[in-house]
Amino acid sequence: MFYREAGQYKTSYAADQQIFPIRQDRIGIAVILVIALLLPLAASEFMLSAIAIPFLVLALATIGLNILTGYAGQLSLGTGAFMGVGAYSCYKLVTIFPEVNVIVHILLSGTFAAAAGVVFGLPSLRIKGLYLAVTTLAAQFFLEWCFIRIPWLYNYNSSGAIEVPGREVFGTLITGPAASGTARYYVVLAIVVVMTLLIKNLIRGRVGRQWMMIRDMDIAAELMGVRPLIAKLSAFAVSSYVCGVAGAMFVFFYLGASEPAVFSITLSFQVLFMAIIGGLGSLVGSFFGAAFIWILPILLRVGLPALGVDVAAETVFQVAQMVIGALIIFFLIVEPHGLARLWAIGKEKLRVWPFPYA
């Protein structure tokens, strides 16, 4: 009844090709954006710093992995390491060129991650599937080893960790300990929204279609004139770029300082689970997945005691883990293609509501 496109006529190519062809979708996105913009007015510092910022950053990392695994079909277990490359190169850039705007550094640091991604993506031209997962695993271990063993990367700190210095943009402190949650949140939101928009267009265009052709059947794609070298390596490059930017933001806007252990295989799996739960090959799914894996446990941990259920901290922690595990299995049984597919089904149902014809 409300969600119908009847009567919405497209009279130009531009109108026909827009990202959200249905008016209700455009209204929905606008409402979400307004809520996101107004969130700092209502949310506490805890909500911004511990929930909203990491959620957005991890959603971006999930988008990065989704490009590679969901759209181009190349399984990767090296996401954590590529995020680490972004974080460490951003740290080096910020300390070497302190006068340059830190946002420029964050966007630049992705290119280093992209370079690393291309190098470790080379084997993908010869091997596929689980075998490729093993080589990306090698990237994970090798890069993590570098973060520990190359002291130049952390400026010979005795602590072996990278620390985020305070930097201002337009007179507002946006990184470092003194930056307010609101300032950090807006920067993260802006970067994530702009990058998501760019990725969306990339995927709708020629490059994205090539990736999907490679994913669906690489031989057929090659016969139709898609060059696997370019398509696969560009997928690795773009994916690692996005992951690198996410990694830099993870340290600069969320953690504040980080040891190499942050970028361990655990992070790679965390992001991979977000991509799978959310739905491979879906941008909105990346946000769903990140919300599911990041926000739900926090809500359970904060929510259970607030409801008056008085249990020990570690019990809450373990219960949250078990509930998440059970929900993952439940959702994957109900819909193997992830939350994004559930969302799509819901939208289809809504279109014919209240008079379903089937």
Closer by beta carbon to another protein, 95 or else 182:
95
| Candidate list 70, 121, 247, 260; residue touching another protein; CB under 8 A | 260
| Candidate list 66, 124, 239, 258; residue touching another protein; CB under 8 A | 258
Least CB distance to another protein at residue 151 (A) = 9
Check binding of 255 to another protein (CB under 8 A).
yes
Partners of residue 173 on adjacent β-strands = 168
Count the site residues for another protein by CB under 8 A.
42
Lookup: tokens for 348: 């289809």
| Candidate list 312, 333, 356, 358; residue touching another protein; CB under 8 A | 312
Least CB distance to another protein at residue 210 (A) = 35
Least CB distance to another protein at residue 107 (A) = 23
Candidates 169, 180, 167; CA nearest to 94 is: 167
Taking CB under 8 A as the rule, which mask of x and - marks residues 69-108 in contact with another protein?
Answer: --------------------------x-------------
Least CB distance to another protein at residue 57 (A) = 11
Least CB distance to another protein at residue 261 (A) = 6
Check binding of 161 to another protein (CB under 8 A).
yes
Cα–Cα distance measured from residue 250 to residue 54, given in angstroms and rounded to the nearest whole number: 7
Report the site for another protein in 24-63 (rule: CB under 8 A).
Answer: 44-46, 49-50, 54
Burial (0-12, 13-18, 19+ Cβ within 10 Å), 247:
buried
Query: Does residue 338 contact residue 280 with C-beta atoms inside 8 Å?
Result: yes
End-to-end CA distance of the chain: 16
Angle at 104 between CA 266 and CA 200, to 5 degrees: 65
Candidates 138, 93, 82; CA nearest to 115 is: 82
Helical (H) or strand (E) element with 173: strand 172-173
Cα–Cα distance measured from residue 259 to residue 144, given in angstroms and rounded to the nearest whole number: 10
Q: Which residues bind another protein (CB under 8 A)?
A: 44-46, 49-50, 54, 95, 148, 155, 157-161, 163-166, 176-178, 254-262, 264-265, 298, 301-302, 305, 312-314, 316-318
